[in-house]
Amino acid sequence: MARKKRPLPFFENVEITDAGAEGKAIARVNERVLFVPFAAPGDVVDVQVYKKRKSYYEGNVTEIKKYSTYRIEPKCEHFGLCGGCKWQHLDYQYQKEFKQKQVKDSLDRIAKVHYPDIQPILGAEKTYYYRNKLEFTFSNRRWLTDFDTPLNEGGVTDIQGLGFHLPGKFDKILDIKHCYLQPDPSNNIRLAVKAFAIENNITFYNAREQAGFLRNMIIRTATSGDLMVVMIFGADNAGSIEKMMQFLADKFPEITSLMYVINTKQNDSIHDLEALLFKGKDHNLEIMPSALPRQKALQFKVGPKSFYQTNPEQAWKLYKTAHDFANFKGHELVYDLYTGTGTIALFIASSVKKVVGIEYVEEAVQDARKNAADNQIDNVEFYWGDMAKLLDEDFITAHGKPDVLLTDPPRSGMHPKVIEQILKAAPNKIVYVSCNPATQARDVALLNEKYEIEKIQPVDMFPQTHHVENVILLHLRK
């Protein structure tokens, strides 16, 4: 006879004490950590646990008994379901404070090295409508919310959805009425496409059955005023493609790049598929001011599959911090690890003798070389390959020992072999840019063998979320 599972705990009057990883709030109950989404430090809440482990619980708020002074009313009607802006209920000033604390906690708990005072986080002027790219997904059975009348009660005839995936659910799409992340006309385009498709009986995709015509839509805005829309179709139906694309061209003449992709694969990735031009240019033009006054601004051609920082205003602050931390004199050879499409390398190029960029994605290196040519910058070189294998003693012998090493790795941080090679090369300075303070702190602890921290500057790239970027300057011990 199967053992009956014990019901998961229900806790009353729990005080939320902190904001933690993945945007979840933190409390302590029965000597375990309790993670609670959409709560705020200072709240007193009732919590129903949905996951129980030896060292922690995870639960959802069922009732707020006392509201935190950090709380504000979220702007978005989708808050609490959509996973995009989990901190909308926190006043922005407190968001910045908790992000700064994330950096400090990571250094204290993981790096465990001496460090100077952390400089105040560089906040964003725009706390909404700051993203230059969003991707929406079509679904023929959208997620029904508490505000929808159930089907069996005669409600909800419109079950088509165009919006975002619910967190952790590949086939559940939350239909979005208004998104506060991307500036106009993003919302108008999304709503118009959905309405036109329904009026013309154009089918929405079903992820489980792998069937349906409308699959995804990407909207990219740019600092230059350019506007790109990329439609992703689940079938090669020339008539329906022409109808939808012509509708967009007529309805939104401000679109400067109108493209489409036909994706009949079992996943949503379009990086291995051709993007076809329907109208306009095949790229957006992004303009980034230079690092120093009186220098020419950089221009980047951003195609439908290109990577570019999604918050360009804050990206400039991030790159300017990295540039200023290095305190270039003009003679330096700089290695830029995980260079991507070369944006940081090109940003600092006019301040140094030469930049060598290294990246593990071949397509990104091709974009970096093209960006360098477009901006007429000739003191940069880009190489691609597995960072842990490419960056070896032969590479350093061939290209020269770096005076300054700049690194901006993915969230997982740097491979131990990369750190080992950095320690062998022993550049005078390391400027470490990170989107994950925890893995940055882990790597700093490994670099502590030869380096000590000189400066720390957090930068808020993504208001209304828990994410924080951090720049650390390390110098070689004498």
- Catalytic residue numbers? 435
CA gyration radius for the chain? Answer: 24
Residue 39: closest CA among 14, 9, 57: 14
What are the Cα distances from residue 152, in Å, to 143, 148, 409? 15, 11, 51
- Burial code (b: 16+ CB inside 10 Å, e: under 16) for 70-90 equals bbeebebebbbbbbbbbbbbb
Residue 336: closest CA among 416, 287, 409: 409
**What's the distance, CA 212 to chain centroid?**
29
Task: Identify whether the C-beta of residue 264 lies closer than 8 Å to the C-beta of residue 209.
Answer: no
> Which alpha helices (DSSP H) does 157-311 contain, by range?
186-199, 238-251
Strand-pairing partners, residue 141, are none
DSSP string, 201-239: TPPBPBTTTTB-SEEEEEEEE-TTS-EEEEEEESS--HH
Report DSSP state, residue 350. G
CA within 13 Å, CB half, 434: 27
Taking CB atoms within 8 Å and a gap of at least 24, the contacts of 93-96 are 94/70, 95/460, 95/463, 95/464, 96/121, 96/123, 96/460
324 CB-near residues (< 8 Å, 6+ apart):
none
Question: Residue 115: phi, psi to the nearest 5?
Answer: -150, 155
To 10 degrees, the CA torsion angle through 171, 75, 123, 312? Answer: 50
Task: Identify whether the C-beta of residue 98 lies closer than 8 Å to the C-beta of residue 68.
Answer: no
**What's the distance, CA 158 to chain centroid?**
31
| Count of other CB atoms within 10 angstroms of residue 44 | 17
